[in-house]
Amino acid sequence: MDSLHDLTTEQPNPHSLGIDKKSTLEILRIINREDRKVPLVIGRELKSLADVIDTVVESFRRGGKLFYVGAGTSGRLGILDAAECPPTYGTPPEMVQGIIAGGSEALVRSVEWAEDKESEGKKAIDERGFCSKDVLIGITASGQAPFVIGAMKRARQLGTSVVAMSGPPLKPSRTQGAGQR
């Protein structure tokens, strides 16, 4: 894809046009209506989600780890989930790990262009000791972040399970593959 302009995430939401001119209550109603769509979308993906969870559980049983790799907000969300596992589930901190393009600084400040090098994604998982028992979940809203793709390619070279999480498909005029495992 030559441009991110074809992504639905880059298009205006027709249901919230003019939201900036609405009252607070009207804004909240619009957001609430849009948020109600999320469980319906997730409901359509339950089989895929179950497959991913089963893969991760099997990895844990073999002594493997789960790595989230992302860039920008996607990376921050992966790190947030990884950070929550020890206090919520009592897991060792190294069992679920998050990696973000741009490193620790990118957690609190945008690190422009950090996501643009495949080689950095490969390097990041190698530095963490990623191995064939582990599972990598690459998170990229556009499905195109080179840092994430590089990490996923390296994980596949190591013969491990790789899951791709990305945003919605392209506008109806084009289609985009959804990679999983």
Is residue 37 one of the residues assigned to a domain?
no
Residue 48 counted as domain residue: no
- For residue 102, what are the domain limits? 62-166
Judge whether 52 lies within some domain. no
Inside any domain, residue 121: yes
61: helix, strand or coil = helix
Provide the whole-model pTM: 0.83
State residue 113's pLDDT score. 87
Report if residue 175 sits inside a domain: no
| 154 occurs within a structural domain | yes
- CATH number for the domain spanning 156: value is 3.40.50.10490
Contacts of 155 (CB under 8 A, 6+ apart): 67, 125, 130, 134, 136, 162
pLDDT of residue 177: 39
What stretches in the chain show pLDDT beneath 50? 1, 170-181
pLDDT the model gives residue 11: 79
The string of pLDDT tens digits covering residues 81-95 is 999 999 999 999 999
What's the pLDDT score for residue 172?
45
What is the per-residue pLDDT for 167? 77
Quote the pLDDT of residue 3: 62
Question: Which pLDDT score is estimated for 110?
Answer: 87
State residue 4's pLDDT score: 64
Could you tell me if residue 147 is inside a domain? yes
Q: Residue 15 domain-assigned?
A: no
Domain count for the chain: 1
Which residues belong to the active site?
84, 115
pLDDT for 168: 66
Element (H, E) at 58: helix 46-61
